Structure 1
Amino acid sequence: QGDKFGAEHINATNEAVNRLNSAPIRVTLAAAGWTGESAPYIQTVQAQGIMAEDTPLLVSQLADGAPLDVQQAYSKAYSIVAAGTGTCGAGTATFKVYKKPATDIIVGLKV
């Protein structure tokens, strides 16, 4: 019969809480990895641990203490990615942007 406080429910709840408390899944979006002749430009990357039903938050992965030129380049690329859209697959994340970032960028996906 499985009441709502059964072992399966508790295990599923624990798994969900553990995912919430985990570090962001880091993915690299290569400047040369965007496809398409016109907007939207698309890039699909491996994102170990992402599930198709996830709707993660995009979080910055800029290194603490990064030099000013690195901060500026990262800020430009991150704002382009954040202004676009993203969808998840089983172990993948697909990003669509309306302008190609000029530099490689590492972003975090917080599930």
Structure 2
Amino acid sequence: MADQTAKAVRSQTEKAALALLRERALLVGEAATARHERDQLAEALRQATDHYSTRYAAAVAGGWTADDLARLGLDAPESSSPRRRRPPRPATEPESAGEQGVQAGEQGVGL
């Protein structure tokens, strides 16, 4: 390595770093593609589930009972598609005026 110039060492190091970054970029690209495919399939499933629910309800409205349909291998559709719930917010209570005064007084002690 003593025979190489500083410019050559720098160039080799940069090329090696770029190769590593390309590998990492490919990995994140593949993950993005997989997420996109997942989202498309989830939407297709939601649409198919909605369609099945509508057709099942039409069969019931047409005189079939849930038991009849179950015997024919048609399970009752889920009541609703699962939805994400927002995590509860932490409760924040306003401080009372008396507590604020005590805190302000404590800050002034020792000055």
TM-score by length of 2: 0.30
TM-score by length of 1: 0.30
Greater RCO (CA < 8 Å, at least 6 residues apart): 1
Question: Which protein has the larger Cα radius of gyration, Structure 1 or Structure 2?
Answer: 2
Greater percentage in helix? 2
Greater percentage in strand? 1
